[in-house]
Structure 1
Amino acid sequence: MENRTVKKKAAPIPGTAAVPVIDPGLPERAQKLLQEAQRHPFRYTGAERSPLRAAGPQLVRGGVLTVGAALMWWITGRGQTQAGEVGGASDAFAHGVLELSETLHSGIERMWPLVATGVALMVGVTAMAAADRNSTLRALAEARKRYVQPSELAEGARTLLARAQQARKTVFASSVHRCDLIDRQRNEVALPRQEWEIAEALLEYSRLMKAEPDDPRSSKVVAVLQVRRQSLKTSLGGVERRVLALEAYAEEVSGADGRYQELQQIRQITEGSPDVLELLARTARDDLAVAEIEGMNAEAVAVAAAFTAALESAKEAAVIALPAPLKAA
């Protein structure tokens, strides 16, 4: 295969902005958690809490309820004893108090297991909810290590990421991709991986850029900074070459897509050529009409050939833009 040079970069579409990037190797559950946290950030704020501390208020309320029930049980028990000791003219009153005390006392005894179970259930549910939230927060913190926000990037790095994402969108939106004419499966695996690797490199570049001192104190510091910045510039240039390769691939895909649309239209126009030829032959019997129809068919053949060439060109660009990942030795 002939060596190909990366074409001059295409200008990014005005208004196109970078969007967050998730490592495609992250488990699907973690990716969904990141997306959910992005949509509802306030649900996932705050620090972890001890399950026991979280259940503390429920435990206190349950304890107060339990003590109150125990006190009522004791009071009603005492009421039964005192009512039994009262005699004479107050027998009717004592009998009423005794019945009320017995009713309350037995009711509390029957309710006691339910109260204890309810308190234990509330405490357990609250503690489990806190433990589950802690687990979610830890999983989210781990997933965020494989997640790049455009706001974390330096301005030039954000522009490069936006260009890479626009190239990916161009490929995925093309008819030749959707119709699997340029290895759809490879695109769907390689393009997200390329986007993530670019975002990861740009994040590291931005972190190192932000770590530089704002006011160097001496010429020696300035000299060291210049060497450091040159190294960072070289690193950024390597990322830009990858972006240029993606843009060149997207441009080739767009070209092939245009030829494909032309081919589809030519086929649609020439689909009824035999009927047109028959009609012209019946009415005019003119050799010129036959030549005209044959010219239409020849045009279709030419467009098909151009489409085939454009597809081959796009596939060659894919080799440059989407290299196969290195296999471990």
Structure 2
Amino acid sequence: MNKAGLLDTRENSLTLREQEWEIAKTLAEVSRWERERAAAPSPAQSLGEAQAGESAALDETLTSITGRVEALEAYARHVAEADLVHRAHEQIHAIVLRSVRYHDLLARTARDALAVEQIHRLDEHAQALKQVLAQRLADPAATGSGPG
């Protein structure tokens, strides 16, 4: 689709790179927070509620980023499907063009019957001439080239 110029390649390139970068940054930050939480000593009972809030924030972040990734996957799937349809369209177009050429070729065969008749007439004349010449060879007196 991009090669055919059917998608805005500039916007695609910029948007997709931006999305990839944002996802990578967010996942790197989530990983960093999870490492920090895993390395921290077990919290006191009163701090557990605060840490639960952190967990909820990380979960919400992952849910949100998953939605973004799923949207990108859906976009990629739809572009691939559109590409298949586009290729089928191109193949049909090529078949139509070939069909026109084949019809032209077939139309030219209409002249073949007339050409065969003309060739048969030429052949009949050649055979008649051959017979006349063969008879003259067989009867040299008829050609006027005998002793005289």
Q: Which has the larger radius of gyration?
A: 2
Paired with 1:195 and 1:237, the residues of 2 have a C-alpha distance of 16
Percent of residue pairs bearing the same amino acid type: 33
Residue 177 (structure 1) aligns with: 2
Paired with 2:21 and 2:105, the residues of 1 have a C-alpha distance of 59
Q: Report whether the alignment pairs 1:232 with 2:58.
A: yes
Paired with 1:227 and 1:199, the residues of 2 have a C-alpha distance of 23
Alignment RMSD (CA, Å): 2.3
Q: Look up the equivalent residue of 1:236 and give its one-letter code.
A: L
Give secondary structure in 2 for the equivalent of 1:273: helix
Give secondary structure in 2 for the equivalent of 1:177: coil
Q: Which has the higher helix share?
A: 2
| TM-score normalised to structure 2 length | 0.63
* Residue number among 19, 25, 28 corresponding to 1:200 in the alignment: 25
Say which is worse superposed, 182-191 or 267-276, in terms of deviation.
267-276
The alpha carbon displacement at 1:278 in A equals 4.4
Residue 35 (structure 2) aligns with: 210
Moved over 4 A (4+): 278-283
Q: Look up the equivalent residue of 2:103 and give its one-letter code.
A: L
Give secondary structure in 1 for the equivalent of 2:37: coil
The alpha carbon displacement at 1:217 in A equals 4.2
Residue 70 (structure 2) aligns with: 244
Q: Look up the equivalent residue of 1:256 and give its one-letter code.
A: A
Paired with 1:268 and 1:230, the residues of 2 have a C-alpha distance of 57
Matches within 5 A, 1:1-329: 176-214=1-39, 215-278=41-104
The alpha carbon displacement at 1:279 in A equals 5.3
| TM-score normalised to structure 1 length | 0.30
Unaligned runs of 5+ in 2: 110-148
Deviation digits for residues 162-186 of structure 1, max 9, x if unmatched? xxxxxxxxxxxxxx11222110111
| Paired positions, count | 109
The alpha carbon displacement at 1:231 in A equals 0.9
The alpha carbon displacement at 1:196 in A equals 0.9
